[in-house]
Structures are given as structure tokens and as C-alpha cells.
Structure 1
Amino acid sequence: MRSNPAGLSASSLDGPRIDAAFHTARQTLLAARNQDGVFEGRLSSSPLSTATAISALALAEQHVDDDQHADGKTDTAWFTGVMMRNELSELFTQSLGYLAKQQNDDGGWGDTDLSPSNIATTMLVEAAFHLTGVPAKYTGMLERAQEYVKVQGGVVGLRDRYGRDKTFAAPILANCALAGLVPWSKVSALPFELAALPQRWYHKLGLPVVSYAIPALVAIGQARHHHHPTWNPLTKFLRDRSKQRTLDVLEEIQPASGGFLEATPLTSFVVMSLASIGQADSSVVRNGVEFLLASVRADGSWPIDTNLATWNTSQAVSALDWEFDADFTGTGRHKEGHDAAPTEEELQTLDWLLDCQLKRQHPYTGAQAGGWAWTDLSGGVPDADDTSAALLALSTWRELYPNVRCEAIQKAALAGIDWLLDLQNADGGMPTFCRGWGKLPFDRSSTDITAHAIRSWRQWQQQLHLKRNDPPRSARIEAAVSSATQFLIKEQKPDGRWNPLWFGNAMQPDESNPVYGTSKVLLALEPARHDACGFAVDNDVLVKAVNWLAGVQHACGGWGVADVAKKRITKLHPKEDGHAVCSVEETALAVEALLPWAGQDAKIAQSVQQGVEWLCDRVESGRHTEPAAIGFYFAKLWYYEELYPQIFATQTLRHASQLAMQSTTAALAATV
């Protein structure tokens, strides 16, 4: 990379304009903080989730036992007091009306109102209409859906979409079989009997589903065994004998909210499957139904998950630098030193985040204490990405307020660090939930999660001076970072990019999002250029990534590998130019990753300048709050989160403003 000492000159970045945009962005983000001090956010409504919830409620209602009273009146054993049958019919009508409005021009449905059609969601919507028996009011709607599914290859096309991972393919086909759309022979026979074995054995059993999908394994497996039992007498015997034990497992791991993972699709698949085999009155189904009824939205839709409150809050406080003063207009560090005092609002959020840390072994995955989940609700499961985000947020607090909650924060941080260290896979990468599963998506090591862990480990090692104060733990961290770094280097594509796991782009041929992945890895590895702890990375690895990232910037100044918001953008701004192919989320992340390199190369400096101007344009036009469907949930399920663009824009504009200030100061000093 060519040296350019001047880098971003004082005139390259419009400091006052960036300051104004940053102030606007942070004001918008601050307004999203609720009375409990939490940045709960709002996930997009999901046609897929809505379809599965409707199917589950319809099957539960159809199979529940009715009680006959002495006076001759009949009511439903457990819908009474929750929702009467006529109210449920009204809900079905409303929800199906929501789905009808979401159908795309090609006849299919996508996972959000910004998403292209996919075969999975379309098949599930078809099943929902069939199971409710509510006639479609829109002429030709289901006919067009059937044609879309046919063009996409039907059952074969669905299986091609998921490959050998049966986590989602089996439930979708089971849902369709329950609706009479496909024969049960098309549904894979899942070895649910294995769930009767000790939990610690799961990762060694070669299960055809990922670690978080044990409820689906049991429920779908039992439904398939009930409706289409195996011909093998030994297997049939084993499965018959294990039915009750595996149902007990489901009851044991079901969270207090009733929602497995707080996820509508997973909970719905469990409810519909068990209801169809005579378990409609079981506690698992009852609690699952109550979860679904409690989480439906006013328009009859459901999101994929209740919320991402912990994930959003960790990232939001880092973007805001823990500054909750609405009138604060600066961009540099504030209230530093031993006499610094946080506000009550900041303490409220800190205490909430500390309380979210898992304090005991998790019954669902067997995870030990020390990690954080994406939500504070009972269905959350600790994972590496959310734990890293919380650790970074706590690190920022400790820098600002070293004497406030010092012992509690250090204790939480050390537990989180150790939790991540224990999770690391043998290949050096970080999985999401469980160490050693490794074969299927969302269990194997991934670049974005590994990069996040590296950042949290490095931050706390330096902040706590572990090399001096705790040599054994420091040695573990150094070994973990070294191994994780080598994993990332091996995962880099020949052109310099990295593909992430938890974020994607539905318009890409492989549905990946290398802008997100490359940005996250650069943020983790770039400090290694200045590291005195032996974590050095070959500069060619980083330069290749920087050049790739700058090279995919659009002429308008933004990033977004494909038209992630075409449906909405075209509808609202039909004459808009290249801005339509960009997203606030991807642009903000790319600019943040490139900022440290702007002082070394004129081309990168220009790229950063254009990216910052694009973000400022977005803020000034009030469109920095428009999300893109880049969230990649379990099993290729897309979502968007309304806080993502606000968080990412605030974080990047703060850093850009700081850089502009430094450039101006340096320029003034040079003239003296």
C-alpha cells in the first residue's frame, strides 16, 4: 500500500457536517432507550414466522380435547382464559390477511417485506392457508404460489437449499405434510431417540440438526414416527421406548416463557408436531401456545424472535460511548479520570447488562455460567457473539469510570473471557453455541464471531494488564488469539474478503455478505499492526482485505453488494440512483473498518471521505433509520432490526468526527 503521510487532510472531512450528523444520529439512537434503560429494538415482522405460528395454533386448536360440562356446554380445556375459538378465528383471518399483502410479484413470499421470495417461506405460507381452512380472498394467490414452488423445484428445491442440514428442511416438510401438501414419506426420519442420552454426548453423535435444534429433533422426529413409522423393527422398538423420555427432555428444557430460543418458528414447529400426535394438552404445547399468543403483533404478524435486547444494548452503549446526555454534542472522550461519575441512567443500563450474564449452567445447551445471550428473556441461550459484544461494552465503561462497579465488572469480564476461551474450537475458530459440533451451519467456526472474540480478549488483556497481573490467563488468551488469527488467515478468500455467518445478502448467489465479514475481521486484525503482545499479522493479508473492501464501494459512496432494499426503495423513491443498492449498515461498517487505513493511502482516504459523505446524506435526509434485511437468522431465515442502522451509523460517525478533529489539530500544529 502506498504511503501517504498526509492521509485525510483537514479539508478532506467536513468536521462540522460530520459533527452535526453524529449528533442527529446519536439523538435518534438515544430516543430508542426504554424506561428500563434497555435498547430493545424491534425485529421485522416475518411472513415465515407468521405462517408457522398460524399452522401451530390451528393444529393445537384442532387436536385439543373438549370438556363436556354437566350443563351440556362444551369448551376447550386450555384455550379457556387464553383465547376462545371465535377469537382464534379472528386472529387467523387477520394474520392471513397480513400474509396475502406480503406476496411478491413472482407469487412467492420472502422472510421480510424487504426480502426476495424463497421456497421455504412460500411452502410454509401455503401450508398455513390449508390448515386454517380460511379461503383465500385474493384471486389466484395460492395458484401463483404453487407455480412459484413448482418453478423452484418443490421438495427437491427445498432440500437443495439446505443441503445435508435437516434443521429446517425437516420441519418445513413436516408442516407441509400436516397440511396434506406432501406425503410423510418426504419428511426425513429424525433420530429423536438420541435426545434421551446424556446432553454431554450430543456433539459426538453426529446429529443431523444443529445444537440449538434439539426441540425440533424430538418433536418433528416423533411426529414423523407417529405418522409414518419406520419398517425396521429394532429402530421402531427403540423409538417407541424413548418417546416419553424425550418428551420429558422437552419439558425440562422449555424456558419459562414457553418459547424455545424465544423463536416463533422453532416453538411453532414443536407445538404443531406434538399437537398432531395427541400431545395437545401437554404442558409443552400449552406453554408454547401461550408464548405464540403473547408475541403476536397488532397486525396479526410475528417476528422471528421476541427481541435482541442484550445484543442491541451492548452495541448501542459502545456506539454512544456510554454517554446518555441528550445535550452532549462532543465526539471525544468525556468525564475521564478517577473523579468521573456516571449518571443514574447510565448506571441503570450497566446494571441491567451485568444482570444478563448467565449465572448458572444453561439447561438447554449445557453452557456453563459466564456467557451472555442475545436477549434477557428466559428463552435466550448464551453464545459467543453476544458475549463478546457485552465484554466490549463493559470494557468501554471501565475505561470511562474505573472506580464505578469496578469489582462487579472485573468479575463479570473474567468469567466472560474464560467462557469464550473454553468455547474455542480445535481449529482456532469460534462456534456460536457449543464447542466441537462443527459439521453444520451455526455450529462450526465462523469468521465474524472469531473476530469479535479476538477483540474482546485483546481489550481485556490490555486493560487488566493480565501479562503482569495474571500470567496463566494471559498465556491462555495469547494462545487463543494466535490460534484464532491463524483460523481467520486460512479463511480469507483469494481476493481478500471474508464471509460471515450471522449476516448475509439475499441477492448474492451464495447469500453471503463479505462487506460485513471483511469489515468485522479488519476491525479485529488491524490493531495487530501496532501490537506489542506478539499478535502480529502479515500486512499483506490486511492490505488485500482493505483493497477488496474499497474496491466494492459503489459510485454513490455507499456499500451494499446487491440491492438489499429494492422492493421498499423502488416503491418510496422510484427515481433514486445508485443509493438504492447501498445500506446504512454495510456502509457504516465498511467506513469504520477503513478509517484506520485512511492516513496511509490516498485512494483509501478518498473512499472513506465518500463513505462518510454518503452517511451524512442519509442522516440529513432522515433515512439513516431505514434498515436493510441483512440479518441472517437460524437456517437461512432473514430479518432486519430497526436499531442496526442507527447503531452502526452512530458508531462510525463518532469515529469519523474524532478523526476529522485530529486531522484539523494536526494541520493547525503544522502551521505553527
Structure 2
Amino acid sequence: MTNTIQGINQLIDKLKKEQSSDGSWKYPFDTGISTDAYMIILLRTLEIHDEKLIRRLASRILSKQEVNGAWKLFYDERDGNAAAALEAYYALLYSGYVQKEDPRMTAAKRFILENGGMENVNVFTKIMLSSTGQYKWPASFPIPIEIMHLPLSFPFNFYQFSVYGRVNLAPILILAENKFSLKTKNSPDLSDLRLTRAEKHDWEIQAEWRSLLSLIKEGIEDLLGLPEQLHAMAMDRAKKYMLERIEADGTFYSYFSSTFLMIFALLSLDYSKNDPIIKNAVNGLKSLKTDIDGLPHMQYADASVWNTSLINSTLQMAGVSPEDPVVQKANNYLLKRQHDQFGDWVIHNPNSLPGGWGFSDVNTVNPDVDDTTASLRSIARSVRGSPIYQDAWDRGISWLLSMQNDDGGWPSFERNTQNPWLDFLPIEKGEYIFGDTTSADLTGRTLEFLGNYTDLPKDHPAFKNAITWLLKNQEHNGSWYGRWGVCYIYGAWAAVTGLIAAGLSAEHPSIQKAADWLKRIQNRDGGWGESCLSDSQKTYVPLNASTITDTSWAVDALISAENKPTEAIQKGIHYLLNSLDKEDWTTAYPKGQAMAGSFYIHYHSYRYIFPLMALSHYHQKFG
């Protein structure tokens, strides 16, 4: 039997030392260089001369450039990512600290042109380019602003998109309608990144979709009145949607992208660059700055609630007492961030009161299921005998159960937003941007919480319906697709641990099939590793190297599914114990994802949280 005590104690000590004074953990939410590039472009466009920040962001971007001139989203992304390279190139030129003739820039330009040039980047990069005068807006955008008028009963309406999609879409609709662009005297000339002299707008929509949207637009006009008035009212609704959801730090829903877009949308509505709303938004974005390896990184969002809830619950799982000052301090932090306001989630869930938790420190109206179960795990051992904790617990459980979809599973942010129209939306990655359907990771993690932390009867419909959904949606190879992690190992871990916590026997064919799959893909060194290519290819792609986080997920799933420490488990545990101090490209490899092929997350906390979880479960079950 493997002795895991030393490794467990090492991880506990590490995490305790990293706690912030307010009780939270502020490990970076690292999303690569795109937000760094966008921050430079924003500051230069607004003519905010924060030279220290701009210069250091440029240094970080340059530090991530590959030998071939490209930038990658992840280590094994073949030659590189065209959109990231163009964003980096644009930001570096606009910064003024790197010249076009610099060999690094000529290499970047060559890579961009070899990969399709400006015309070949994704629609969101094109929106940024159009907003800053580098690319022409299309004659018509795939979604008309009049969608703001469509009622909830209509199958294609604004609130049928995910909340993440809506907060980015509202400012985009305004920008596209106004065809707004803003250049300065220092704007670089990117025209040489086009492959054709005449601008070719391959992001314009196909004739069939344009015809359908025209019919929708005309139908709204016939129902409600004059086109000009409807257009003005729709623009006003989109503006109000943004302004009514600004958080205390000035950000729009606490996301970098939506705040960036809101600033340009307000400028297109004749707001001054010095308007307090815009100045506060810029300051809110600046507050997202973190330091990684001595250089600044603009986080897409603050991840303090997510880090804190995961870490504090895992510390207690590993044996740290609920009375420990570290645990109490973290729980006090979390209690203050439980939501008591209604957000957009109430539109599809009108019979519930607030009680969830959001992802970030400043989030007040956008709770999500994952952060809610994680926060409830964190406070679970402190509930008995405490009216304050009991109230938080009851409100959290009530909100969580109310969020279950009619299909039996759980979404991330809003219930029952499944929308078959998304499959036809002519925007690449539309299902990731605009969809919030039931997912295996959210459903599995919620089942694990309800089964291991509550006294909800195992014959409760919440269990039955969720189990049915997971069994129905298992992949042929035995895995499950995880929406917010990479990807199939993550989904399998969440599903297996959730199903067993919900009362499914470890001998069930579905559990055995998942366990057999995990054993088949184990690496020779005892670890596991999955490539970010899995989500784009929609099938498991091995990384051909092991990561600490993947190994932790796989081992934890096998521990829950086996009644003895099998060879696969033992090899996985040995890999973890021998890798706790490891530092190489695998320890920086993204294990979170938000949009296939475009947006990946390196959670700096995961390399400590999930090994501690797996080692603790091993010790508790097998000694």
C-alpha cells in the first residue's frame, strides 16, 4: 500500500500558505495572451497612456511567441493559432514598443498570411478589428438588433441565448448596427495582412439565413409598428441591458470581453471617452490584472470564489478541521458572496429565490451551478448549530435544485435554454458561445454533492432524472464530454463520481465501461493526459504526456469505482506523488475550456487541488 500522508501534508501546507488576507485564494485565471492584447488595443484607442502597463503587457505577449512567429493557445496546437497571432501582432504594433521591421514581427506577419490572413480569423477577432477601424463591418450581421423585441414565447429570442452569449451579444448588436469604428493617429496599418486587395467579407451570412432573418425582422415590424421606431427602441433595450448589469467594479457582468465590447458600444452611442461609466469600466478591467512569472496578465475574469470554494472544501476533505482558522476565514469570505439579488436566471426559473454563488469576487447577479455546489461543499461541515450557515445552506440547496433542467441534468447558468436554432446560427462556435445546455460535468458534480453532502433520499426525482440523463449521454468509448474542462477525462471523472454518490453500483455496466476506458488510456508513466484538441475534434485526443490534473481526475474516478487499490490506481498515485514539485510545460497546460479552438484556461490552482483530492480519497478508502 502506498503511503500518501507526506504528499497530502505537503499540499495542505502549500495551500494554507497561499491564502489571502480576506480568506480567499487568488490563483491566476490564465487565458493566454488575447486579453493582454485587447487591453493594449483598448488603452491605445482610448488614448489612456498607462505606459508601464502597456510596455509590460507587450513584454508578456512577446515572451509567449513561438520560434516560427506564431502564438499558441496550448502546447500541441501544431503550428499556432492564426487569430491569437493577429491579435498579438496588432497589439504589439499599437503599443509602440515593437516596430514592424523587428524580426519577431516579420515572422508573425508571415505566419498570419500563411494561415489565411485577416480574412481567416474568427468572427470575434473581426468584431474587434472592425470596432477599431481595421476591417469593414458586413452589410448585415447574422442577428438583427430587432431580436431585442421578440417575446419569450418565440423560439428565437434574446433570452434563449446563454447569459454568456447575451452579455457579449448586446454590445455587438449595437456596434454592428452602427458599423462603428474608432481609429487614432497612432493606429497601425494592418492592410498588408489581407490576402486580397478588395476586402472580402467571408463572415457575411449566407443568403438563406439572411432571408430567414429578414422575414423575422419584417414580422416584428408588422406586429409592432414602424421600422424606424422599432430600431431605435431595440437599440435602447440593448443599451439598457448593458447598463443595468454593471457590477460595482465597473465591469459588465464581470467579464473582460463583455466589458471591452460595452465600452465600444457606448462610444458608438456618442458617449465620451471620459464618461464615468467608461472610465469605471476601464478601471474594472485594470483590476483584473494579475502577475505571472513577473509579468502582468489581464484575467478574463476573477476566479476567487471558484478557487476558494474548491480549495476550502478539499482541505476539509483532506482532514483539516472546520474549526481551523484557514477554513473559517475562507467560509466567511464565501458567505459574504452568496447571492441575494435576482439575475437573468430568474427568467427561466421564476419560482426560485436567490441563493447561488458566482465565479468571481465581484459577481452579484450571475450565479452558476458549479460554484454553488463547490461553495456548499465548503460550508457543509459548519452548518450544524449555526443559524447563519444553516440559512445559507438552505437557500443554496433550494436554488440548486430549482436549476435542474427538464431533461434531468444541470446547466451552468440558466435552466431550460436548449435551443435547436443554435445549430443553424451562422457564427462559428455558436453552440459554445450561445448555448447553456445540460452537461455531464455539471450534472455529475451536482450529483456528487447531493449524494455525499445532503440527506436527499436516493429515490428523489432529482437523482433519478439526472442518473437517467448521464446514462443516456455516455460516449460509446465509456467516457463523457465535459463542457468546462478538457474534456473527456474531466467528464468521465465528474460522471463516475456523481453516479456512485447518487447510489449507482460500481458494478453497473456504465461505471465499468468508464473505468475500462480510463485504464486503456493510462500512460506508461502511470499518469493520464488529454489534449485540448479533444473539444474541436469532438473525440478523445491523447496528449502523449501526463499531467497532474488529468491524472488526479482519472485516479479519483477509479478510486470511487474500485473496491481495492488496483494496479492502475497505484501507478496513478505514484505518478502524483512523484510529480508534486514538477515544473514543465505539462504543469502549465490548460485544463479548462470555454470555447473549442479559441478559449482555454490554465487554472494555476488545479495542480494542488485535484492531487490533494485524489490522494485524500485514496488514503480514506484504502489506508
Query: Under a length normalisation based on structure 2, what TM-score does the superposition of the two structures give?
Result: 0.79
Q: Which residue of 1 aligns with 2:135?
A: 182
Q: How far apart, CA to CA, are the structure 1 residues paired with 2:135 and 2:86?
A: 10
Match of residue 494 from structure 2: 520
For 2:498 and 2:585, locate their aligned partners in 1 and report how far apart those are by CA, in whole Å. 25
Tell me the SS of whatever aligns to 2:593.
Answer: strand
3-state SS of paired residue (1:46): coil
1:594 equivalenced with 2:558 (yes/no): yes
Q: For residue 447 of structure 2, what is the aligned residue in structure 1?
A: 454
1:101 to 47, 59, 63: 63
Q: Please tell me whether residue 491 in structure 1 is matched to residue 465 in structure 2.
A: no
1:184 alignment partner, SS class: coil
Give the direction of change, closer, same or farther, for the CA distance of 1:617–1:345 in structure 2 (3 Å limit). Answer: closer
Paired with 1:420 and 1:138, the residues of 2 have a C-alpha distance of 56
d(CA) in 2 for partners of 1:236, 1:285:
28
Match of 2:567 in 1: 606
Q: 626, 642, 651: which is aligned to 2:613?
A: 651
Q: Hey, what does 1:296 align to over in structure 2?
A: 289
Match of 1:510? Answer: none
1:558 Cα offset (Å): 0.6
What's the counterpart of residue 203 of structure 2? none
- How do 1:173-322 residues align onto structure 2 when only pairs under 5 Å count? 173-185=126-138, 188-195=141-148, 205=157, 210-227=162-179, 238-279=230-271, 280-297=273-290, 301-321=296-316
**Residue 138 of structure 1: CA displacement?**
6.4
Residues 654 and 460 of structure 1, relative CA distance in 2, 3 Å threshold: closer
Query: For the Cα contact (< 8 Å) 2:492–2:514, is it kept in 1?
Result: yes
Partner of 1:33: 19
Using the alignment, how far apart are the partners of 2:583 and 2:50 within structure 1? 39
Q: CA deviation at 1:454?
A: 1.2
1:369 to 351, 354, 364: 354
The structure-2 alpha-carbon separation of the partners of 1:344 and 1:20, relative to structure 1 and needing over 3 Å to count, comes to closer
2:341 aligned to which of 348, 360, 375: 360
For residues 107 and 625 of structure 1, do their structure 2 counterparts lie closer, same or farther at Cα, with a shift above 3 Å needed? Answer: closer
Residue identity matched to 1:32: E
Shift of 1:626: 3.5
Counterpart-to-counterpart distance in 1, 2:331 and 2:234:
45
Q: Is the 8 A contact 1:515 1:586 kept in 2?
A: yes
Q: Which has the larger radius of gyration?
A: 1
- Once residues 108 and 162 of structure 2 are traced to their aligned partners in structure 1, the CA distance between those partners, rounded to angstroms, is 30
Residues 59 and 524 from structure 1, CA distance in 2 versus in 1: closer, same or farther, beyond 3 angstroms?
A: same
Indicate conservation of the 8 Å contact 2:31/2:300, yes or no.
Answer: no
> Which residue identity does 1:227 align to in structure 2?
K
The answer to which of 515-524 and 140-149 deviates more is: 140-149
CA shift, 1:209, in A, is 5.2
TM-superposed deviation, 1:190: 3.8
Please report how far the alpha carbon of residue 549 of structure 1 lies from its aligned counterpart in structure 2 after TM superposition.
Answer: 0.8
> Which of 44, 63, 69 is the matching residue for 1:58?
44
Partner of 2:547: 583
One-letter amino acid of the counterpart of residue 27, structure 1:
D
Aligned counterpart in structure 1 of residue 332 of structure 2, from 351, 361, 365: 351
Code of the residue aligned with 2:559 in structure 1: it is L
Are residue 500 (structure 1) and residue 482 (structure 2) matched? yes
The size of the alignment, in residue pairs, is: 553
Q: What's the offset of the Cα at 1:219?
A: 1.6
Q: Distance in 2 between matches of 1:110 and 1:380?
A: 34
Tell me the CA shift for residue 383 of structure 1: 0.4
Which letter does structure 1 place at the counterpart of 2:551? T
Rounded to whole Å, the distance in 2 between the matches of 1:115 and 1:410 is 47
Structure 2 letter corresponding to 1:497? S
Which consecutive residues of structure 1, in runs of 5 or more, have no partner in the other structure?
1-12, 62-84, 160-168, 323-330, 336-340, 468-473, 505-512, 565-577, 662-672
1:550 equivalent to 2:519? Answer yes
- Aligned counterparts of 1:92 and 1:527: Cα–Cα separation in 2: 49
Q: CA deviation at 1:521?
A: 0.8
Q: Do the aligned residues in 2 keep the contact of 1:495 with 1:544 (CA within 8 Å)? A: yes
Q: State how far apart, in whole Å, the 1-side matches of 2:53 and 2:180 are.
A: 32
Residues 397 and 111 (structure 1), Cα distance of their counterparts in 2 relative to 1, 3 Å cut = farther
Q: What is the CA–CA distance in structure 1 between the aligned matches of 2:28 and 2:129, rounded to whole Å?
A: 29
The more displaced of 486-495 and 288-297 is: 288-297
Name the SS for the 1:560 alignment partner.
strand
Residue 410 of structure 1, aligned match among 376, 386, 390:
390
Q: Is the 8 A contact 1:48 1:265 kept in 2?
A: no
- In structure 2, relative to structure 1, the CA distance for the partners of 1:115 and 1:287 (3 Å cut) is farther
Secondary structure, aligned partner of 1:459 = helix
The within-5 A match list for 1:433-452 is: 433-439=413-419, 440-441=431-432, 442-452=435-445
Q: 1:267 to 1:424 in 2, by over 3 A?
A: same
Shift of 1:541: 0.7
Using the aligned pairs only, state the percent identity.
21
Deviates more, 1:105-114 or 1:248-257: 105-114
User: Which structure ranks higher in relative contact order (CA pairs < 8 Å, sequence separation ≥ 6)?
Assistant: 1
The one-letter code sitting in structure 2 at the alignment partner of 1:373 is G
